[in-house]
Amino acid sequence: MSSRKNFSAKWTRKDLIGLKGLNSEDLNAIFKRAEKFQKNPASQNLKLKGELAALIFLEASTRTRMSFEVAVNRLGGHSLIFSAQASSLEKGETLLDTVKNLEALGVRFFIIRNGENGVIKSLSEKSPSSFINAGDGTNEHPTQALLDIFTLKKSKGKIKGLKVLIVGDILHSRVARSNILALKELGAAVFLCGPHEFLSDELRDLVAGISNNLNESLIDSDAVLCLRIQRERLKEELNFTARDYFQNFGLTEERVKKYAKPDCVILHPGPLNREVEISSELADGPRSLILRQVHNGVFIRMAVLSLIKESLISRKNHG
Ligand code: CP
């Protein structure tokens, strides 16, 4: 049981707050478990039987929330959808008090999306329950990056040695941050491209290259992760239009075909803003892994939930 290949033996955390600090063996163990769930639905084993999982989404979501709900249900657990606007948060109750009250109802898993960086980590430090980050301000979105990389790995057969270009609003993107951390850990060369408003010096230090020129950045790319402009996080009006943006930073089949590797694939975490950051031709075309990402997200979330549950059992058995 001492092997690093056994994720549950080493994953002693009760939470998944971010990918920072996870090593390649931790990441590969999650992929291995997701692969098992994908290949053999009978391996699901109802790992969450009898468990209540609260889905607390304080920002909008379609894919992540639904995907976690499917994952919890496939593992035999019950998901409780917490509707913030119809909750006592509206009357001034704190999120910590909300968690404590849900714990009193028997909830032990909290899957949380929140607009403010660090809140999920802070809750996890004050509670014995398990917390899974489903989007933490501009900080991390770990399960999105895990499903992105899982999908890319299935498409390319490897991550090590790939040139992965992330294009768009990187500054405000928790998806980009989690992807950069994990892709680098797995040996990919990560490059960033976007207008200077969406880049920062801090990002420059994290990656192999950074540029404002999309055509040049695309050269030799094996994969491109396209990001939408996160208008909800902008503090100031942009000094370019959506049309200008598409002209300079929009991904199109023509552009990818001309500059990237012939078998370059396209990822996008969604939601798409068509003809702003990506053309419909590319998003719906043969290079696109976008709907495969969504499909794979369920297996990744099942893997994370089941591994956390196993680690809780292991922690309990070993005092
Ligand atoms: N990728 C992602 O987080 O999508 P949702 O906002 O729809 O959950």
Q: Which residues of 238-277 are buried (b: 16+ CB within 10 A; e: fewer)?
A: eeeeeeebbeebbbebebbeebbeeebbbbbbbebbeebb
Complete domains list, the chain, with CATH: 3-137+295-317 (3.40.50.1370), 143-288 (3.40.50.1370)
H helices present in the chain, as ranges: 7-10, 24-39, 63-74, 95-104, 119-125, 142-156, 174-185, 201-204, 214-218, 242-249, 253-259, 280-283, 290-317
Give the angle 233-61-24 at the CA atoms, nearest 5°.
85
Question: Given this model, what pLDDT does residue 5 score?
Answer: 43
Asked whether the beta carbons of 305 and 75 are under 8 A apart, the reply is: yes
Give nearest CA residue, ligand 1 atom 6: 61
CB 235: neighbour CB atoms within 10 A? Answer: 5
Asked whether the beta carbons of 310 and 12 are under 8 A apart, the reply is: no
Diameter of the chain measured on Cα atoms: 59
3-state class (DSSP) for residue 177: helix
Closest atom of ligand 1 to CA, residue 66:
8
Question: Given this model, what pLDDT does residue 6 score?
Answer: 42
Q: What is the pTM of this model?
A: 0.94
CB 232: neighbour CB atoms within 10 A? Answer: 9
Closest atom of ligand 1 to CA, residue 135:
3
**How far apart, in whole angstroms, are the C-alpha atoms of residue 193 and residue 233?**
19
3-state class (DSSP) for residue 146: helix
Question: Given this model, what pLDDT does residue 44 score?
Answer: 67
| Site residues for ligand 1, CB cut-off 6 Å | 61-65, 135, 144, 269-271
Mutate to test the pocket of ligand 1, among 55, 62, 133 (most ligand atoms within 8 A of CB): 62
Give nearest CA residue, ligand 1 atom 4: 63
Residue ranges of the chain with per-residue pLDDT less than 70: 1-10, 44, 319
Q: What is the CA radius of gyration of the chain?
A: 20
Question: Given this model, what pLDDT does residue 10 score?
Answer: 63
Closest atom of ligand 1 to CA, residue 270:
1
Mutate to test the pocket of ligand 1, among 57, 64, 81, 111 (most ligand atoms within 8 A of CB): 64
